[in-house]
Structure 1
Amino acid sequence: MGNTHYFLAVPLTSEVKEQLAKWQKTVALHFPFRTWVHQEDYHITLAFLGAVSPKQLEAVRKAICKVANTHAPFTLSLATLRTFGNPIAPRILWQGVEKEEKLMVLQRDVYTACVEIGFSLDKRPFIPHITVARKWRGDDEFRLEEMRKMGESRGSFEVRHVVLYQTHLDRTPKYEAIALFPLLGEKGER
């Protein structure tokens, strides 16, 4: 259980997950990444918390419930594919989303609430993304433009919740939703 960690994220709808998985199945045959993310693990991370004590977990639940109550649901649209790391041997392949100020404000508020509780969070700028694959393993250089020519996922989905996930490295899918925080206009925490 020592490898268990937690993070707060925006979930994707099952329709968008299925669409991304269908795209992934097509391109994975031609682009050898070490790991392709399971469709149930697609999400947009808002704050990575790491290891969390039961007391901290309760503080997170209370703080994020308050944050979620100050935000209304909003829509995100999928954008283009991108990478992190060396472009010819990327560490991460990810699906972008169109710029949406409501997402940026939600992430800022979640981040601030976690810092106020006492978490030390990543200070890099927030880049909203959905990880789809990790660690390029091809013999040749990775060519993002070649992948894009095979088609990209498009579509939109409504953001209605923030989710607290627990990671289980020994499972597939490896992320378990342990708390759901509905945005304003939704029913209370489940």
Structure 2
Amino acid sequence: MEQQRHFFFAAVIPDEMKKAMKAHCEQLKEVLPFRSWVYYEDFHITLTFLGGASSDRLQKAMDNVATAVKNFEPFPLQITNLGIFGKKDEPRVLWAGMKESSALQSIQTNVYSSCLDAGFELETRPFRPHLTIARKWIGEEPFQRQFLEKWAEIQPEPLEFNVQQIALYETHLNKLPKYEAVQMFT
């Protein structure tokens, strides 16, 4: 049985930052027991998750996004901290957070609106920019907030990089890297 194809738009993380994050994650793995760690080539900042899509609707979204981001200028982002989603003592996701960025917020709003205009039903929760780095706490002891301070020990200064591209990614669950850039927008 063929799996349904899933798509999402994301801010592309430059290769050198992916490698820096990989090194940090190797250190975090030693002290934070999560079931799975994101493959470093898959790091990205999701702007809008589409899920499954017909070819026509996907093409309309790509056309809309191309128009919406046509004049975007590269902008800096900073990775500043760790956070979690899920239960406080047994989180389902460990993520690296970003310093607030009006440029990122603007791009996300434009991409989101473009996808709505293409007929997609989208997530309605507020946008919380992050890099997912691990999933499913498996520690013998409950997760504790002080574990999030491990980031400051590994990286006392924010990691800065420039967002220069937006991509439409397709998910491949049984491959590494899991996410394939289908179309790039600069």
TM-score range normalised by the length of the shorter chain: over 0.9
* TM-score, normalised via structure 1 length: 0.91
The alpha carbon displacement at 1:152 in A equals: 4.1
Structure 2 matches for 1:121-140, cutoff 5 A?
Answer: 121-140=122-141
What secondary structure, in the 3-state scheme, does the structure 1 residue paired with 2:170 have? strand
Query: Does the 8 Å contact 1:34/1:135 carry over to 2?
Result: yes
Query: Does the 8 Å contact 2:12/2:44 carry over to 1?
Result: yes
Amino acid at match of 1:146: F
Query: What CA RMSD, in Å, does the superposition of the two structures yield over aligned residues?
Result: 1.3
Structure 2 matches for 1:23-172, cutoff 5 A?
Answer: 23-149=24-150, 151-153=153-155, 154-172=158-176
> Any runs of at least 4 consecutive aligned residues in structure 1 with deviations exceeding 3 A, and if so which?
none
Range 55-64 or range 130-139, more displaced: 55-64
Structure 2's unaligned 5+ residue stretches are: none
The alpha carbon displacement at 1:60 in A equals: 1.7
Following the alignment from structure 1 to structure 2, what is the Cα–Cα distance between the partners of residues 147 and 125? 22
1:8-44 deviation line (CA, Å, top 9, x unaligned): 0001111111111101111212221111000011000
What secondary structure, in the 3-state scheme, does the structure 2 residue paired with 1:30 have? coil
* TM-score, normalised via structure 2 length: 0.93
Aligned length: 182
Structure 1's unaligned 5+ residue stretches are: 183-190
1:103-145 deviation line (CA, Å, top 9, x unaligned): 1011011001100110000000000000000110111011242
Amino acid at match of 2:178: K
Sequence identity, in percent?
Answer: 36
Query: Does the 8 Å contact 2:9/2:47 carry over to 1?
Result: yes
